[in-house]
Amino acid sequence: MTLSTSGPATPERALSTPALSTPARSTPVPAGTVASGVEFDIDEFGPHFGAEIRGVDVASATDDEVRAIRAALIDYKVIVLRGQDLDDAAHIEFGRRLGDLTTGHPVWNSGDVPAEVYSLDSTDNGFADVWHTDVTFMPRPPMGSILRPVVLPRNGGDTNWADAELAYRSLSEPIRELVDKLSAVHDGSREFGYYLKQRRGGRGNVWDGKEVTDLPPVTHPVVRVHPETGRKSLFVNPGFTSHIEGVSDAESRGILDLLYAHLTKPEHIVRHRWRLGDLVLWDNRNTLHYANRDYGDNRRVMHRITLRGDEPIGPRQP
């Protein structure tokens, strides 16, 4: 499919600008377009989200192309670009053209890489084989993530993404009304607390201008309103969400189990098989992801940078 960002919008093919509040791509209401004269060859992964953009070299992309890529990210939630010849410096430079960058991770020491890079090395517990949304245990989780492979096993190590916006829309109305009212606690100490205390001596990295010395739990709405589109999505994940506030432990487990089972239904998921030269962007505000750990003792190294986000807002918040 050729997708022009300068022609008239159509319900299925329009790219929305970051500042516009537009309906979901599958909703029969025209969306905004990027008036940049850019055309992309788009291979959609499915009827609802995920797409590969072909024929773009991000290292030499024009400003119009970068704006259109960001618009496509908002529209498709997960974007794959293949054949990209990037090192860490070029990876970071592209990220800066999309938005402000965070440090690579609040607490993890990735070694001899730039501060903006989070290196996930399978030889040093760099696994992501649990459904999660990046860094939701901080007050301002990243807006988005940009990931590229550095070392890949011969096969295996695919990454899956779940569309939390689609999952919210496909809940029954009574359940939507219930979860709209709820908040959940996200706790990074379960995954990174021991590491921060024992391997970093209680001194993590700088996140949002402050050195991370502990990981107190934070509360976010169970349903998040996307700050650029106004659409709702489920904002809980098995990796970092510990419990629902204001209900019993049994009720919390029941609600979260229901939501996790619903989020990860096959019709809510796309899957990517990695090749060297791939670059994948995703919107961290309305997706979860899971990296398959099916490659045995083979090594897998991925480098990720993240775009600075804002504080999640729910439907019942001003």
pLDDT at 99 over 70: yes
Q: Is 298 exposed, middle or buried (0-12, 13-18, 19+ CB in 10 A)?
A: middle
Contacts of 299 (CB under 8 A, 6+ apart): 121, 122, 123, 151, 153
**Per-residue model confidence (pLDDT) at position 34:** 37
pLDDT at 242 over 70: yes
- Exposed e or buried b per residue across 46-67, where buried means at least 16 C-beta atoms within 10 angstroms of its C-beta: eebbbbbbeebebeebeeebbb
**Per-residue model confidence (pLDDT) at position 126:** 94
**Per-residue model confidence (pLDDT) at position 318:** 61
CB 237 within 8 A of CB 133: yes
pLDDT at 210 over 80: yes
**Per-residue model confidence (pLDDT) at position 38:** 85
pLDDT at 102 over 60: yes
Catalytic residue set:
132, 134, 289, 304
The per-residue pLDDT for range 10-66, each reduced to its tens digit, is 323 333 333 323 334 433 323 333 335 688 999 999 899 999 999 999 999 999 999
Q: Which domains does the chain have, with CATH numbers?
A: 41-307 (3.60.130.10)
**Per-residue model confidence (pLDDT) at position 12:** 32
Token pair of 170 as six digits: 């496909």
**Average model confidence (pLDDT) across the chain:** 90
Higher confidence at residue 122 or residue 316? Answer: 122
Say how far apart CA 122 and CA 126 lie, in whole Å.
4
Tell me what the mean pLDDT of segment 169-190 comes to.
97
pLDDT band of 316, cuts 50, 70, 90: confident
The per-residue pLDDT for range 270-290, each reduced to its tens digit, is 999 999 999 999 999 999 999
Q: What are phi and psi of 289, to 5 degrees?
A: -145, 165
Share of the chain above pLDDT 70, in %: 88
The per-residue pLDDT for range 188-209, each reduced to its tens digit, is 999 999 999 999 999 999 999 9
CB 282 within 8 A of CB 79: yes
Around Cβ 121, how many Cβ atoms within 10 Å?
Answer: 17
pLDDT band of 9, cuts 50, 70, 90: very low
**Per-residue model confidence (pLDDT) at position 244:** 98
Higher confidence at residue 217 or residue 32? Answer: 217
